[in-house]
Amino acid sequence: MYSYVLLINTRDEQELVHKITGVISKCGLNIINNNEFVEKERKRFFMRSEIVGKFDKEKLLEELKKVLSEKAEVKLVENKKKRIVVLATKEHHCLGDLLLRESYDEINAEIVAVLANHNDLKPLVDKFDKPFYCVSTENKEKHAQEKEVLDIIEKYNPDYVILAKYMRILSPDFVEHLKDRIINIHHSFLPAFIGANPYKKAFIRGVKIIGATAHFVSDDLDDGPIITQEVISINHEYSADDMKKAGREAEKAALAKALKLVFEEKVFISGNKTIVLG
């Protein structure tokens, strides 16, 4: 297994690969996997390298600075489990799936806490011995409730916050505070059926395929860079409720795949899109 991932996101220019691999050689690193991508529209260069061995991290970053433009974003990330806080409401399927995967090391993360606005999921979380917080939204101002949620989150200092069917719209402040660190699973094939009750809408529209979308959360509802999408074929026999149940499988799969990719440092955010390397 690799012990570090080097992530470079910079303006595209000539000879970048040669220059960067030159630095890597100079610093005595052993690359075991390497991927590059040039996004032509935005003229951006992305590179992801899995590195093993002992080396001087400061020196590596310093040498890279010399060959890259000033504004280049360079990250050298140790390959260790991400700390995550999961937010949910009443639906169990995504949360249960994550708890199981976490307990068998399938997503490179540690669930440090679970928070919900109802108590329904407490028994499930208890099974896996994780702290569970219920922060109700009833009789509370949105701002006050979010403050409470944020305080709990910050106590755990997580790398990411996962909305595993957390059925609340977050305020721009909340989102800004955790910029690029909130991942949501939306229960439709975005951008179809934005907003509430997508399965009801899908039923009324008579679609033949339903889907789910895992994405980073940005200010706009159901917007933000898409990481993964999954679909499931249905037919006229499905009621709105059947769709909802079938859709759970797509939701679980899309979220689990997205988290695996993000937590293995394979996902770059580029404007409103994601670049997935490695």
- List residues binding a second copy (CB under 8 A): 14-15, 17-18, 21-22, 24-25, 30-40, 92-93, 96-97, 100, 103-104, 106, 124, 127-128, 189-193, 204-209, 211, 225-231, 235-237, 239, 245, 249, 253, 270, 272-276
Name which of 193, 113, 187 is nearest 155 in CA terms.
Answer: 113
Residue 229, classed as helix, strand or coil, is strand
Q: What is the rounded distance in angstroms from the CA atom of residue 241 to the CA atom of residue 125? A: 25
Please say which residue, 33 or 155, places its beta carbon nearer to a second copy.
33
d(CA 189, CA 250): 10
Task: Tell me phi and psi for residue 130, to 5 degrees.
Answer: -115, 145
**For residue 160, what are the β-bridge partners?**
84
Q: Which residues contact 67 (CB under 8 A, 6 or more apart)?
A: 19, 20, 22, 23
User: Min. distance of Cβ 41 from a second copy in angstroms?
Assistant: 8
Both tokens of 215, joined, read 């994405």
Distances (CA, A) of 276 to 69, 181, 200, 211, 256: 22, 16, 32, 20, 15
DSSP states along 135-186: ---TTS-HHHHHHHHHHHHHHH--SEEEESS--SPPPHHHHHHTTT-EEEEE
Which residue, 140 or 260, has its beta carbon nearer to a second copy? 260
Is residue 125 within 8 A of residue 143, CB to CB? The reply is: no
Please report how close the Cβ of residue 87 comes to a second copy at its closest, in angstroms: 19
Distance in Å, CB of 104 to a second copy, minimum: 5
Residue 46 vs 158, nearer CB to a second copy:
46
Which active-site residues does the annotation give?
222
In the bound state with a second copy, the residue whose beta carbon lies nearer, of 33 and 69, is: 33
Using the minimum distance from each CB to a second copy, give the nearer residue, 152 or 246.
246
Whole-angstrom distance, CA of residue 111 vs CA of residue 158: 9
Distance CA 248, CA 211 (A): 9
The distance of closest approach from Cβ of residue 138 to a second copy in the complex, given in angstroms and rounded to an integer, is 24
Q: Closest distance between a second copy and the C-beta of residue 3, in Å?
A: 17
Closest approach of Cβ 268 to a second copy, in Å? 9
The CA angle 209-214-216, to the nearest 5 degrees, is: 145
Nearer to a second copy, 145 or 218 (CB): 218
